[in-house]
Structure 1
Amino acid sequence: MIKKILYISIVLLSFTLRGLGGQNHSAPYNNDFALISLKSSHTRPDKVYFLKKQYIDGKEQIITSVSLNNGLEIISLRVNCTAPSIIYATYRDVTVPIYIDKGAKIGLYLDFKKIKPSFDFSGSHSSINKYLTAKKGKLDSLSSGSLKDIYSLPTDRFELLNETVSKEISTLRNKYLQHEINHDFEMYDIADMSSLLIIRKVLYPEYHHHFTKEKTPILYDFAELPKDIPFNNKYGLLSRNFRDLLSMYMDNQIRAIKKVNELSIKEEQLLFFDQKLDMSVSIFKNKEIAEFFSTQILINALDLGFVSFFEERLKKARIIFQKAKYLDIATRKFQALGKIGRGSTAPNFQMEERLTRKKISLASFKGSSVFINLWSQGCHSSIEELENINRIAKQFEINHRIVFLNILIDNNLNGLNNYIKSNPLLGTNVVLSGDAKDFLNNYFINSLPRYILIDKLGKIIDPFAERPSSPLLIDKLKESIEN
């Protein structure tokens, strides 16, 4: 009986990682949070921090913190979680990664009985978390000496070092993970270790410095799960650092052969997407990984509104990857985008006006064209464009047939008021009212800045309108008024 229960547990955990039949079965729960129970062996006047990233580089990275004043008691906390991800628990100079998904119940024990405090795991995904912690220790050991010395090693010695660490990580995987789960993590590990070798091939000093100037370089971080790619696939844990590293490597290769300085922002973006898609086919020996990476590039292009480019390159990709697994994800996103295509009715949504705090809706502007400016105080590019919003709004201020609707996506009314006191912004300034998630989904908001142009009948003219800094926008605004 015990063996049968153990077998069922292993199978369920395997399905948690692998998924079933194209649907996300990452957790058999309905709760959109993970429950973490923390206990420590001693009372301490310090706190344990739970972070989105490995290091505290700003308050926005801290999910929560708990005091150890009553360390012998169990402290329970909820962490919002709608998809599998990795967060970090840190106490002083000890940091561990924690794999969570919705509904998980994770036990975390902070032990002070050893020379150095250490964390141990129980409950959901305990074997995975023990493995991730052990792997982190192996990777961190690389930076115990001088990183400069590591990167200046001759190629043969560097590859030997890489091979040694790869074997040690493989041993850890076999120790902590069951066979099926072990297989799922294999590509994740290969990606991290391959990152080291790719750096060696980069000849650009500023790029090399980017990965060596920190005490612990970026590539050693345990990354978040890839966005858009569902978890139920073989490469669900393919390191985001590895993808970012490859992307930057490609950027430098493209800049070396193309005169990008003479291009506009959109022309440069299109060039890079086009070149990266070509390179991703040749850079990977494994076609499945090549398709995975190509899908990410296509989705990024779609997020920025390059619809024609997306359609053209998707057709080419389907010829190259005839047994496609991930391209369907890009297709589904494209179909979702069709709901806000040119000529479709703009989905209505509720807002709160800054000065009056009155609730208003998009429908209340019917009869006037509406230029929507989605911005965030944390987005440098969108803030840079606010000056151009003022310039254009002033140009059209005598014409009341167009509304400049500035939506602060941060949804912080006090923050909006404080900002505008010292940085006047012409137009109607609002925050979203109600569930912002519906608005983001309905309008396909995946990146900022983002601009949307709607006509006086409430129909979408352009779901990805030009930036205010573009001279093309003025003509489109005039056209929206005249028609």
Structure 2
Amino acid sequence: MKKILLLALAVSAFSCKTETKPDYIVISGKITNKLPAELSINTQDQSFTEVIEVAADGTFTDTLTVEKGSYVLYDTKNPVFLYLDSGYNLNINYDAADFKNSLVISGEGAAENNYLIKKREKTPLLIGDNASFYSLNEADFKNKQLAIKDSLTALLNNTPGISEKFKTSEQKELHYNYLVGLNVYEKGHRYFTRDQEFKASDDFLKGLDGFDYSNESDYKESPSYKKIVTDHYVSEITEFMTKDSLSQEEAFFKTVKNIPSELIKNTFLFDFANQSMARSKDIESFYNTFMSISTNEDNKAVITEKYNKLTAVAKGKPSPKFVNYENYKGGTTSLDDLKGKYVYIDVWATWCGPCKREIPFLKELEKTYHDKNIEFVSLSIDKVSDREKWKKMIETENLQGVQLLADNDWKSDFVKDYQIQGIPRFILVDTAGNIVDPNAPRPSDPKLVEMLTELNI
């Protein structure tokens, strides 16, 4: 977590220089033209986030003790992707009105971060459009993957100032990324060529023969290695689901129990639980199974906290409230305003593809139940600053029901109380304001009509 470490910094100012790098990271800089509503440093999976104070003149500085790896400095609009390691002292400056062309990173660790910026810019250009890329035959695809790897390796080797430690780690990452490309080729080729019968030749993935799926160091440091390992175990899960007719949860827990590396097992287990427990139909069983397998006490504490919050929104419990949310038709609406009716809540956003795919089904439901004792509420978690975009979609799609805009997007109390981490999410509340189902079926799922029929709606 974040530590200010002022004492450590004061002591270092009066100490003799040594070759030992400090165990903290300093990031500072200045944002010109427009002060951000908020500036934060986050892991890319948002498991860690800390707000950084910005002065009135746009300057900021903070001292962190975090694990080395990938982070995002985010001002709610412009993301600065960073690689952080102990001893880094990064200065980050940009013009909020011209972010892409004005971003400048200097200081200790700048060479590595500027290389990564160039890598992110160059990679899409090397790949080209995905349809053409994945439609290549096996030989041409593999050759292009090798050419991409070689080009990025040359960029790495030709960037001055990069430490040997980082260079060694990045060379591994580039190789693993090459293997990731081969690993997803079959699915990508099927999708873009619309040839669902396509099967890669037996020797196409020869580079993965004898692959070590238990390298804990690479699992922690290389996103591509982690993806290879994840895909490997996801394949096992899918196989259990198919051959043994297990549910996804059952297949997952059966797979994870057999992962030999404790670190990988605990991380894989935690990542799944953190994202999926809220969608489980039996949260108590899910939680108990997680606790019986996990050996990481920190992970157990996080999931226990999540479990306690989820059980607070279990079937039969009073629903968390939303209060005075902006109503498209004017004024505001609170959940209590709808008491006396069942309330089917669709948590969505204009940028969410799966949400938009449910719209036609939701419209049909609203027609079918228009004179019944149920209210259909579409609760957008678009940013308040995107209000006009929200209004335009309501008009363009002729959306019906009660159209509301949450007060603080993902950070709205209602969203946090329900532990919503992915959308669309559907919630059914009864006439007294109690939860019928915190994970109600989607409008496209016939089980929803069955549920409403059982409730005599």
TM-score range, shorter chain: 0.5 to 0.7
Amino acid at match of 1:364: D
Amino acid at match of 1:4: S
TM, length-normalised to structure 2: 0.61
Amino acid at match of 2:22: I
Matched-pair contact (CA < 8 Å) for 1:87–1:98: no
Whether 1:121 and 2:96 are equivalent positions in the alignment is no
The aligned counterpart of 1:409 is 381
What's the secondary structure of 1:377's corresponding residue? Answer: coil
Cα distance between partner residues in 1 of 2:15 and 2:176: 39
What's the secondary structure of 1:10's corresponding residue? Answer: coil
Deviation at 1:370, TM superposition (A): 0.9
Structure 1 residues 466 and 118, CA gap change in structure 2 (3 angstroms): closer
C-alpha deviations, 1:196-226, integer Å up to 9, x for none? 4465567x62347889xxxxxxxxxxxxxxx
Whether 1:4 and 2:11 are equivalent positions in the alignment is no
Consecutive unaligned residues in structure 1, runs of 5 or more: 38-52, 54-62, 64-77, 89-96, 110-116, 212-232, 261-266
Cα distance between partner residues in 2 of 1:107 and 1:6: 28
Matched-pair contact (CA < 8 Å) for 2:429–2:437: yes
Consecutive unaligned residues in structure 2, runs of 5 or more: 1-11, 29-41, 61-69, 96-100, 193-216
The aligned counterpart of 1:418 is 392
Structure 1 residues 205 and 253, CA gap change in structure 2 (3 angstroms): farther
C-alpha deviations, 1:355-388, integer Å up to 9, x for none? 2x21121111122221111222222222222222
Deviation at 1:129, TM superposition (A): 2.5
Cα distance between partner residues in 2 of 1:234 and 1:425: 48
Matched-pair contact (CA < 8 Å) for 2:238–2:251: no
Matched-pair contact (CA < 8 Å) for 2:345–2:427: yes
The aligned counterpart of 2:344 is 371
Matched-pair contact (CA < 8 Å) for 1:34–1:104: no
The aligned counterpart of 1:290 is 265
Deviation at 1:405, TM superposition (A): 0.9
User: What RMSD, in angstroms, separates the aligned Cα atoms of the two structures?
Assistant: 5.5
Cα distance between partner residues in 2 of 1:32 and 1:463: 42
Structure 1 residues 149 and 328, CA gap change in structure 2 (3 angstroms): farther
The aligned counterpart of 1:429 is 403
Deviation at 1:137, TM superposition (A): 10
The aligned counterpart of 2:75 is 80
Cα distance between partner residues in 1 of 2:397 and 2:126: 47
What's the secondary structure of 2:113's corresponding residue? Answer: helix
What's the secondary structure of 2:431's corresponding residue? Answer: coil
Cα distance between partner residues in 1 of 2:341 and 2:175: 56
Matched-pair contact (CA < 8 Å) for 2:317–2:434: yes
What's the secondary structure of 2:440's corresponding residue? Answer: coil
Cα distance between partner residues in 1 of 2:56 and 2:257: 38
Question: Quick one: which of 167, 183, 194 aligns to 2:176?
Answer: 194
TM, length-normalised to structure 1: 0.58
Amino acid at match of 2:379: I
How do residues 249-288 of structure 1 correspond to structure 2 at under 5 angstroms? 250=233, 259=242, 271-280=247-256, 282=258, 285-288=260-263
Whether 1:206 and 2:187 are equivalent positions in the alignment is yes
Question: Quick one: which of 312, 315, 326 aligns to 1:342?
Answer: 315
Deviation at 1:244, TM superposition (A): 4.7
Whether 1:300 and 2:275 are equivalent positions in the alignment is yes
Matched-pair contact (CA < 8 Å) for 1:33–1:81: no
What's the secondary structure of 1:122's corresponding residue? Answer: strand
Matched-pair contact (CA < 8 Å) for 2:321–2:336: yes
Whether 1:106 and 2:92 are equivalent positions in the alignment is yes
Amino acid at match of 1:80: D
Whether 1:383 and 2:356 are equivalent positions in the alignment is yes
Q: Matched residues, percent identical? A: 19
Cα distance between partner residues in 1 of 2:404 and 2:124: 46
The aligned counterpart of 1:73 is none
Aligned residues between the structures: 372
What's the secondary structure of 2:312's corresponding residue? Answer: helix
The aligned counterpart of 2:449 is 474
Cα distance between partner residues in 1 of 2:307 and 2:58: 35
The aligned counterpart of 1:219 is none
What's the secondary structure of 1:467's corresponding residue? Answer: coil
Structure 1 residues 125 and 326, CA gap change in structure 2 (3 angstroms): farther
Structure 1 residues 472 and 460, CA gap change in structure 2 (3 angstroms): same
What's the secondary structure of 2:277's corresponding residue? Answer: helix
Deviation at 1:441, TM superposition (A): 1.0
What's the secondary structure of 1:322's corresponding residue? Answer: coil
C-alpha deviations, 1:240-285, integer Å up to 9, x for none? x55555545555566667659xxxxxx9xx8445434444555x65
Cα distance between partner residues in 1 of 2:187 and 2:406: 41
Cα distance between partner residues in 2 of 1:191 and 1:200: 14
More RCO (CA 8 Å, sep 6+): 1
How do residues 50-61 of structure 1 correspond to structure 2 at under 5 angstroms? none
Structure 1 residues 191 and 272, CA gap change in structure 2 (3 angstroms): farther
Cα distance between partner residues in 2 of 1:323 and 1:208: 39
Cα distance between partner residues in 2 of 1:434 and 1:137: 32
Structure 1 residues 431 and 33, CA gap change in structure 2 (3 angstroms): farther
C-alpha deviations, 1:407-443, integer Å up to 9, x for none? 2222544334433334333311222245651232122
Amino acid at match of 1:194: Y
Deviation at 1:447, TM superposition (A): 0.9
C-alpha deviations, 1:81-138, integer Å up to 9, x for none? 69xxx945xxxxxxxx54589x9852479xxxxxxx9986325864763574698799
Structure 1 residues 2 and 141, CA gap change in structure 2 (3 angstroms): farther
